[in-house]
Chain A
Amino acid sequence: MVMSICGLIMLFVLPELPYVSGYILRLIIGASIALIICLGLNILTGYCGQLNIGQSAFVMVGAFTSALLNSKFGLPFWATFIPAGLAAATVGVFFGIPSVRLKGLYLALTTLGAQIILAWIALFGFPITAAGFSVDPIKIGSIAFNTPQKFYYIAIPFAVVMTFFAKNMMRSKPGRAFIAVRDNDKAAEGMGIDIFRYKLLAFAICTFYAGVAGSLLVHYMMWAQLESFTLQDSIWYLVMIIVGGLGSIEGTIFGVIFITVLKEIVFVIGPIAETKLSFLPMGAGSGLLLIIIGGMAILFLTVEPRGLAHRWNLFKAYYRLWPFGY
């Protein structure tokens, strides 16, 4: 309790500390938006056991809903982030319907389909979403949150509140039902859990999180464009929750931080490696990133399927009794 309050205070004074530049703040904001997306994904994939490989398409639905409401009707962020989440959830439930009769694998396919279909609609369906358009920054009264230093105070509370909700939801009736569906769906049905309803509910929650995060993202970038929502982003969110630990809220936080930092390191060393090592062909830096990220996910899936969260629990159990471990 004391630790978490200290942690929260630390988070809130962070931008004022020395050595904390805009670059670091931008990383943290990116990570906290990714955290909201990954929390939703972990509820669906980690807790309910339904693979989703089209998460960024639902982020896109939320982002464009919010951005269009803002630029067409002039609504502020505070009036659009809930509709954005609901729009994403509606689209998500539509793509979740085929999972009624089928298990695991098939939701993966419909979500892959969602990614491809929604991206196509955004690219060719409407000229405005294909070209990209500008969005107003978030405002409270006369303060506009348009720099990383200011937006930090929007992104962090959102991430904290969404984490709080996710953590508590998983201890409620739906949360327990999700876990039952994941572990043994036949037994769950025998216990009187309506599998279809809870699968769709998990999917709606997942996509709602995605929509809210999308709304935050466009107001942070102040520009809504298609390129931020690709299949590769979806896969990266999946890597984050796998590295962090499927079915663990703390794990999601670890995974997001770990992958964000790793990605940044590779972004820095990739071009250097490309120029220094002359035998590498053009565009090898992006290949390096793919190998490291993909390899990391495979490594965790095969060697440590419970992710960093499990390591953290082992560490805590060890240090609780330290130095008298036995």
Chain B
Amino acid sequence: MEFIGSLIISGLMNGAIYGLVALGFVLIYKSSSVLNFSQGHMLLLGAYTFWFFKSSMGLNLYLSLLLAIGVGFLIGILIERLTLRRLIGQPLISMITVTIFLSLVIEGFVSLIWGSYPLQHIAIFSNQCFNIGNCVLTTQNLYAFGLAFSTALALVLFFRYTNLGLAMRGVAEGHQIMQGMGISVKKILNISWGIAGMAATIGGIILGSTLGFRLGLSHIGLLAIPAAFIGGLESPEGAILGGLLIGLCESIVSGYVGNAAGVPAAFLILIVGMIFKPYGLFGLVKIERV
């Protein structure tokens, strides 16, 4: 009983992080209906930029956080400007494919500049721990939890109540129509990628301070994909729920089966789930008839 209790707690805590990363997927998908396969690598780049400002430049914590987030925004904009803008109006599949290769290029840059070995650890949060029964909670976990929920809430409000959010949802529906309505698809895409870059950087810094600054950080993007899908790609609240579900399933399966079975189990759930509920729990159901 205690074993499963601690598995559930740690699963929920990891799940919040997956939810946070999955929110990045949702953000991009809702504003351009592209699944950004390079989300995990943008996160990696964000974490490494933070490390650069904090450790190589020796700046203080808050300044380097701010700078890293700013650089994340610029990187997002740059990615959109250089690659995705040329694909406006092309089939969506080519945009999705480009993001796969973006992840290669980003990983290449990171290992070209910082090498492929783990970097020195930087702790952001205090190492305080709380005991609940037999389970241990760290401050980091709590921050990640709170951040995931507040970001999800902010995104829900943003897409529902602001003009920019409405325009982003419109661009996701179709580029030509939105261009015809007098909304600049370029500008909208640019801003949404900038925001996604920022979000990825925040997630990357939290993750990096938990798991260490290393290339393997980008694998979290892989686990966040099922999370985003199970919740439904259009819904921020679904991303959090999906993240928690995937986190739970990962920790319980890994705990009982062992051998890092959590990741394949998450994908198995995703595939089976997609047969029965293709648009996820809260996704927008699109009905097409011939």
Residue ranges of A at the interface with B (Cβ–Cβ < 8 Å): 49, 51, 53, 95, 97-98, 100-102, 104-106, 108-110, 112-113, 116-117, 120-121, 123-124, 186, 189-190, 235, 238-239, 242, 280-284, 286-295, 297-298, 301-303, 305
Known: A101-B278, A104-B93, A301-B87. 19 other contacts (CB 8 A): A98-B278, A105-B35, A106-B278, A108-B96, A112-B267, A113-B268, A116-B222, A117-B267, A189-B290, A242-B97, A281-B115, A282-B117, A288-B108, A290-B107, A294-B103, A298-B102, A298-B105, A301-B101, A302-B86
Q: Of the candidates B92, B93, B100, B111, which one forms a contact with A235 in the assembled complex, judged by CB atoms under 8 Å apart?
A: B100
B111 x A286 contact (CB < 8 A): yes
B86 touching A303 by the CB < 8 A rule?
yes
Interface set, chain B 87-141, CB cutoff 8 A to A: 87, 90-94, 96-98, 100-105, 107-117
Nearest B residue to A273 via CB reads B112
The B interface is mostly helix, strand or loop, or mixed, namely: helix
In-complex Cβ contact of B261 among A97, A124, A186 (8 A): A124
| Residue positions of B touching A, CB distance < 8 A | 35, 83, 86-87, 90-94, 96-98, 100-105, 107-117, 222, 225-226, 229, 259-261, 263-264, 267-268, 270-271, 274-275, 278, 288, 290
Chain B residues near A120 (CB, 8 Å)?
Answer: 259-261, 263-264
Known: A97-B275, A189-B290. A284 touches B225 (CB 8 A): no
What residue of chain B has the Cβ atom nearest to residue A231's Cβ?
Answer: B222
Chain A residues whose CB sits within 8 angstroms of the CB of B108 once the complex forms: 286-292, 294
Flag if A49 contacts B93 (CB, 8 Å).
Answer: yes
Could you tell me if A110 and B93 are in contact, using CB atoms closer than 8 angstroms?
no
Contacts of A98 in B (CB 8 A): 271, 274-275, 278
By a CB distance below 8 angstroms, the chain B residues around A295 are 101, 105
Interface pair A238/B97, CB less than 8 Å apart:
yes
User: Which residue in chain A gives the minimum CB-CB distance to B277?
Assistant: A101
Cβ contacts under 8 Å, B278 to chain A: 98, 101-102, 106
Q: Is the interface of A mostly helix, strand, loop or mixed?
A: helix
A244 to B260, CA, bound (A): 37
14 example contacts (A-B, Cβ-Cβ < 8 A) are as follows A49-B91, A49-B93, A97-B275, A101-B275, A109-B270, A112-B267, A116-B222, A116-B263, A281-B113, A286-B111, A287-B110, A287-B112, A295-B101, A298-B105
**Nearest chain A CB to B55 CB, angstrom units:** 14
| A186 / chain B contacts, CB cutoff of 8 Å | 288, 290
A37 to chain B, nearest CB (A): 17
Query: In the bound complex, what is the Cα–Cα distance between A108 and B274 (angstroms)?
Result: 12
Bound CA–CA A190/B91 (angstroms): 21
Which chain B residue shows the least CB distance to A104? B93
